Amino acid sequence: MFRWLLAAVKVPAKAETGNVKAYFSGHYQTYGINVQAACDHQCRFVYAALAAPGGANDIVYRKVYFSEMLQNLPIRKFVIGDNAYVCTETLLTPFSGKEKRILKRMHSTFT
């Protein structure tokens, strides 16, 4: 399973970064760092990246090596991701309504 999350941090000092505002996530209304991570079917981390400041959006996904790895998966192999990503042939993401409940049930069988 591939997941994006925001690791909250205190407001960085101007001396620590050139762009303090880049670390502010409008969605979470806090400062943080964008983290991308993936686990295998036994919930063991197989990939993690501190990808970008918290204000960065889905463009971060294209910057990390994991997106390249997904494009090169063998046929009939895929990764389950959260709804922060766009569903593709190799990255499956939740749907709304009934499909979302089914996918959540499938996720729970892997944990």
Name, in order, each residue with C-beta under 8 angstroms of 106's C-beta and a sequence gap of 6 or more: 80
Check: pTM over 0.75? Answer yes or no: no
pLDDT at residue 106 in the model? 67
- Kindly provide the b/e burial profile for residues 1-39, where b requires at least 16 CB atoms within 10 angstroms of the residue's own CB: bbebebeeeeebeeeeeeeeeebbbeeeeebbbbbbbbb
Walking along the chain (111 residues) 10 residues at a time, the average pLDDT comes out as 79 90 88 86 85 73 73 85 79 70 66 51
Q: How far apart are CA 63 and CA 17, in angstroms?
A: 20
Q: Residue 92's domain spans which residues? A: 2-109
Q: And the tokens for 19?
A: 């762009």
What is the number of domains present in the chain?
1
CA 10 from centroid of its chain's CA atoms:
21
